Amino acid sequence: MQNIQSYIMPTYGEREIEFIEGKGVYLYSVDKKKYLDFGSGIAVNSLGHCHPKLIEALNSQSKKLWHSSNLYLNKNQEEYAKILCQNSFAEKVFFTNSGAESIECGIKVIRSYHHYHKNIHKKNIITFEGAFHGRTFAALSAQLNIKYSEQFEPLLSGFIQAPFNDLESLKKIVNESSAAVLIEPIQGEGGIRPANLNFLENVKKMCEEFKILLFLDEVQCGFGRSGKLFAYEWSNIEPDIIAVAKGIGSGFPLGACLTTDAACIGMTKGSHGSTFGGNPLAVSVGKAVIDEILKKNFLDEVDKVSRYLWKKLKILENDFDEIVEIRGAGLLLGIKTKNNNIEICNLFSKNGLLCVPASDNVIRLAPPLIITRNEVDEAISIIEITLRELND
């Protein structure tokens, strides 16, 4: 790559590949190379690239109104919120532009809930080792991971960390000063680690017992990626609050915090706001995305193709010593490798397959939800070829 002066703050490091076009599950770089996209821009492009229905929705809205402000009524926003509520546990929605903002909103819901109920001691939100909730101060403070927060201290108080999937440890941590539990049903950045369904169900019971709120971060694992609209639907529980983003807009910046009426009792006029959240363009795309995802058989197909991908990966796990473990659920899967995951990811990319590294030396596979079996076969063949090359 040419050594050019960059005016971008260097937080993303060096970036070599430049994409100029996307269609379905493929991306095309400036040097005319075709890539099979199993990263989806970090689990974002749920309907792939340039989906015709999304183009139509965005084009049509762009000719009518881009922005008016949340000072004014927006019937499309109301309708969209209704669809989200009718298809989940939720009764109220706050629209945001990103995952971290959805987390921020959920934390404000928790604090305002206990303020409303005068639970003055309930201040601490329990989070988990390996969690990732974003890059704002509240999110950094919640995930308590030195990798992301070391140079930004002091962090906010009021967060306590528990080991993931460990009920006995959690029982020792929860007490009268607990306010809520915040958990990803499938940890993404933390290394594609699903919470055991039994663990989630016990966490819910504990929340009920201590009269505290259950807040799920489904920013990465939600919106169809698990094979159900929300990952919690695989368990027998319903949360009080959920944060979503990424796949909800399939590439358009959009997020949401969904809650029950009871949980958001403290969120009154003026207590929160966003200039852009739920803007007309975002809502038009969001509605088109959920229309597609809720179409008959769409989620069944996601479930089927994800099981197919899982089966194929398990065969590779058997065939290659390089693969330590296949983990994850739905179309959020991880390959834990022996050698450096980032280097192997780069080799996949050289061979035309895009994946995203995660913690714990895992290579994350998060293809668009519209992936077909043929495209899965293509990805598996690239993985196989690359691992053979590595052996040679």
Q: Which is nearer to ligand PLP, 22 or 106 (CB)?
A: 106
CB 334 within 8 A of CB 327: yes
Per CB under 6 A, 362 contacts ligand PLP: no
11: which DSSP letter? G
What is the rounded CA–CA span in Å between residue 89 and residue 168? 28
What is the rounded CA–CA span in Å between residue 16 and residue 152? 28
Shortest Cβ distance from residue 358 to ligand PLP (Å)?
10
Residues in region 233-262 near ligand PLP by CB under 6 A: 245
Per CB under 6 A, 37 contacts ligand PLP: no
Binding mask 95-134 vs ligand PLP (x if CB under 6 A, - otherwise)?
Answer: ---xxx--x----------------------------xxx
Helix (H) or strand (E) holding 83: helix 75-86
β-strand pairing of 332-337 with 19-23 = unpaired
First to last CA, the chain: 28
Shortest Cβ distance from residue 303 to ligand PLP (Å)?
21
Shortest Cβ distance from residue 111 to ligand PLP (Å)?
18
Alpha carbon distances (Å) from 322 to 275, 338, 382: 48, 5, 15
Residue 21, strand partner residues:
28
Residue closest to 93 by CA, chosen among 296, 242, 281, 304? 242
Q: Which is nearer to ligand PLP, 183 or 313 (CB)?
A: 183
Residue 333, strand partner residues:
328, 365
Q: Which is nearer to ligand PLP, 42 or 265 (CB)?
A: 42
Shortest Cβ distance from residue 269 to ligand PLP (Å)?
26
Q: Which is nearer to ligand PLP, 245 or 369 (CB)?
A: 245
What is the rounded CA–CA span in Å between residue 54 and residue 62? 12
Q: Dmax of the chain from CA atoms? A: 66
Kindly indicate which of the ranges 29-37, 92-100, 207-215, 316-324 contains the residues binding ligand PLP, using the contact rule CB under 6 A.
Answer: 92-100
Shortest Cβ distance from residue 218 to ligand PLP (Å)?
8
- Give residue number: closest CB to ligand PLP: 99
What is the rounded CA–CA span in Å between residue 186 and residue 313? 18
Shortest Cβ distance from residue 103 to ligand PLP (Å)?
6
Q: Which is nearer to ligand PLP, 134 or 227 (CB)?
A: 134
Residue 128, strand partner residues:
162
Residues in region 169-208 near ligand PLP by CB under 6 A: 184, 188-189
| Binding-site ranges for ligand PLP (CB under 6 A) | 42, 98-100, 103, 132-134, 184, 188-189, 217, 219-220, 245
